[in-house]
Structure 1
């Protein structure tokens, strides 16, 4: 009998990050609906356009499956709807069949990881899901519950911090080139200030560096495509301590072998 898991993350980069961390456990992407386990089938949206918005992408989870597990990884499309996404989609499932529920979210420069986690924990409690007092720790029960605050449940940062640590090991020369490219634009820019608003944000430089690297590895493709296709999170990269910590969290959350 399979164990069923449900994980909500902030965005599409995080979805592919999770996929790469789970794939060593034998979990494969489900491409066709006919291959999907019936238990998770209600998570497939049936109404278009979503919310009447023609510009909005269909919120289809990434489904992963093995002989022992079936896991849905759902992007909340931002950090403000993490708990709402869990609440809305658990209402579609038979909750008695869901053995694990989790979240992965970013910290940032303005809000400490502990404070960000406390807010999520409070909101999760209001929908009857009681997280442990510590980020990254699990509440063992039916279902297992846990939330991990990137990059390490303590420091301010985002997924890009972990990708940079991986890049230093896997793509050191490309990382150096991308850093010089981004920093050169910041020092002698021909752009208007409003053009560089996102670059000036706390995580802007890191995101720009990762984006520059991805544009070389997969020209014209989104960063998440590079995360899926390239060596960011394979082999030796999975031994990077802070990346391994996230993988260990997921392994324990979903009770993977």
Structure 2
């Protein structure tokens, strides 16, 4: 019997990174709508533009599947959208889900604080019907249930930071020469730009963007995450990547 999982992530970079992990497990990205399992039919928008907004991205999850698993990864459009994205469960027979997981950045807070803040918001804002899914959630763990539930805070369920910190750990291994050059470039960027436009967590994002553009000139960062070796057999043993891999192993198995 196929296992169904629903992942909610902040943005398309997170979705692409999780896709690399699923690819390692021979769970493939679905591109054709006719290949999507009928279980997910009610969360695929049927008309364009969505809510009348021509510029808004259609909120279509990315779907991954093989004979054993069917996984939908819903992009929430930022940290503030994660709780709202939980409403999509209204359109599913969620009692048939094997697992639900949320993924977001720690940014400048300890991961456990981010976890506690997220669960608190969900208890206050999510329909009470769903509270049984996450009310027993434990930081850093996958709680078993129907469905199972877990929260992973990038980069490693412990430290401050973002997904880019996790990716750069891999970059240190597979693109060490490029990283050395990119670090020198970023170091020389004027304080005028840093002080006006950068937040505390911006430097890893800038460094990743410089390297990604060298690897995939003119392409979006998520394309580099999908196509290059930021997450690969060579990098999976790094601290943050091994922790994410362990979390997904617990969730899927």
TM over 0.5: yes
User: Which TM-score bucket, shorter chain as reference?
Assistant: over 0.9
1:64 partnered with 2:68: no
2:161 to 149, 153, 157: 157
1:107 partnered with 2:94: no
Looking at structure 1, the residues matched to 93 and 138 of structure 2 have their Cα atoms a distance apart, in angstroms, of 28
Kindly tell me: are residues 155 and 173 of structure 1, through their superposed partners in 2, closer, same or farther at Cα, counting changes over 3 Å?
same
Distance apart, 1:233 and its partner CA = 0.7
> Aligned residue for 2:178?
174
Kindly tell me: are residues 160 and 132 of structure 1, through their superposed partners in 2, closer, same or farther at Cα, counting changes over 3 Å?
farther
Q: Quick check: 43-52 or 33-42, which moved more?
A: 43-52
> Aligned residue for 2:188?
184
1:248 partnered with 2:246: yes
Looking at structure 1, the residues matched to 104 and 240 of structure 2 have their Cα atoms a distance apart, in angstroms, of 15
Structure 2 counterparts to residues 44-59 of structure 1, below 5 A: 44-59=44-59
Could you tell me whether the CA contact under 8 Å between 1:107 and 1:156 is conserved in 2?
Answer: yes
Looking at structure 1, the residues matched to 200 and 139 of structure 2 have their Cα atoms a distance apart, in angstroms, of 22
Looking at structure 1, the residues matched to 20 and 135 of structure 2 have their Cα atoms a distance apart, in angstroms, of 25
Q: CA RMSD in A?
A: 1.6
> Aligned residue for 1:147?
151
> Aligned residue for 1:43?
43
Structure 1 unmatched runs, 5+ = none
Structure 2 counterparts to residues 192-211 of structure 1, below 5 A: 193=193, 197-198=196-197, 200-211=198-209
Q: Quick check: 129-138 or 45-54, which moved more?
A: 129-138
Number of equivalenced pairs: 247
Structure 2 unmatched runs, 5+ = none
Could you tell me whether the CA contact under 8 Å between 2:111 and 2:160 is conserved in 1?
Answer: yes
Distance apart, 1:133 and its partner CA = 5.1
Q: Quick check: 52-61 or 4-13, which moved more?
A: 52-61
Could you tell me whether the CA contact under 8 Å between 2:169 and 2:238 is conserved in 1?
Answer: yes
Looking at structure 1, the residues matched to 203 and 174 of structure 2 have their Cα atoms a distance apart, in angstroms, of 20
Q: Quick check: 5-14 or 93-102, which moved more?
A: 93-102
Looking at structure 2, the residues matched to 123 and 207 of structure 1 have their Cα atoms a distance apart, in angstroms, of 27
Q: Quick check: 70-79 or 49-58, which moved more?
A: 49-58
Distance apart, 1:131 and its partner CA = 4.8
1:213 to 206, 211, 214: 211
Distance apart, 1:223 and its partner CA = 0.5
Give deviations 1:14-44, integer Å, cap 9, x for gaps.
0000010121211000000111111012221
Give deviations 1:145-164, integer Å, cap 9, x for gaps.
00011112221100011111
